[in-house]
Amino acid sequence: AWRIREGARPLYLTTANGREPLYDYATALMMAAIGRRALAGRLTSVFFSLIFLAATYGWTRKLFDRRIALWSCAGLAFGFWPLMVSRHMLRTITLPALFGLALFFYLGGTGRSRWPATLAAGICLGLSFYSYIPARALWLLFPLLTGYWLLTRTEGRPGLNQLLLTLLPAGLIGWPLWRYLQLNPAAEARLGQLSAPLRAAGQGDFSLLWQSLRGSLALFSLAGDGVWRYNLAGRPWLGPTASLLFVVGLLLAFWYFWRRDQRYGAGALLALGLLVIGFAPAAITGPELATTQAIGLLPVLYLFPALALAAGRRWLGARWPGSERWQPWLIGGGFLLLAAGSSQAYFGDWANRPEVRLQYESTLVAMLEELAATGERGAA
């Protein structure tokens, strides 16, 4: 990021086995404001996480309703995994933020205001290609969603013209990166390392792929990413209650899609698509480092529990009308417990673990800071 601040303009970064540059450009802008400090990277992640929350609320409300959007974003605000990625100095958080903005703009606007919003969707979608690898597949959800609306003859939703106006600028913006990677395939060393299960499957050996899939399915509720650098090792993405709600919400999403539900059908299709595409990298490579690799599914991690909560609220309200008075308190209390548990896990447990300090080489950092504090030029 500092090299960018000093004038470098890389299209792709080949350090650390290769990575997209958008996060580094954003961090360079932050460094221009506050100087060459580690805080610049953390603030960049925080700002992208706020964009992610706002955009997710926006498109979720358009495809579902205000209550489901609010509950889904409350989970994203208080959950442990979203808390981690919003504080890591990693490019992963830029993907759900930019994709969420693209989706929000794609769904927004009517009449004359529709076309500027659609163009903005294309720009955000194109920029997302410079964020993280899963963006190269997530764009498929736009034609999938539009095709659903065309088949169901849904009025007031984006059609083919808007789809083209979104995909064309997105493709033009992403083309330089695609061309660079086509001419320099060795630049993505990490991608080649992680594709071993697919190469084995192509030769008829599905054992590695099955092993990865089986281990990754446990990430939701049973056993999480074991790398201390990015997770409280072994902590799954969801707790017991949220896991149960997730399964119920997943079944409801299938039901809404299968019935072509007029209110929730399109949103259910999008949520299922995000889940499949977002989970695919972890399913291929296994649970290790899934905290970063499965970032594409983060927008819907708490959407499925929110669907279950909404259905449960309607069911209880129809049978016990008086329950509507205490339901908000019960649900709000659940989110407060989630926030308390995530805060304790992150600030109280993860941050003080010796394994984490070892991963981040805190002793070496402290030595360098001490040398720098001596004032001896070049000592650090």
Q: Could you list the residue range(s) of the whole structural domain that residue 157 is in?
A: 2-176+205-331
Question: Same domain for 318 and 379?
Answer: no
243 C-beta neighbours (distance < 10 Å), count: 16
Report CA-CA distances (Å) from 131 to 127, 144, 186, 281, 295. 7, 22, 19, 15, 11
Tens digit of each residue's pLDDT (9 = 90 or more) over 165-190: 999 999 999 999 999 988 888 777 66
Question: Same domain for 165 and 213?
Answer: yes
Residue-level pLDDT at 271: 96
Tens digit of each residue's pLDDT (9 = 90 or more) over 247-265: 999 999 999 999 988 889 9
Best CA proximity match to 331, nearest among 62, 84, 67? 67
Give domain status of residue 254, yes or no: yes
Residue-level pLDDT at 238: 94
- State the pLDDT confidence band at 102, using cuts at 50, 70 and 90: very high
Residue-level pLDDT at 320: 80
Please report which residue ranges of 64-113 form alpha helices under DSSP H.
66-78, 80-85, 94-107
Residue-level pLDDT at 232: 84
Q: How many domains does the chain have?
A: 2
Give domain status of residue 181, yes or no: no
Question: Same domain for 358 and 277?
Answer: no
Give domain status of residue 145, yes or no: yes
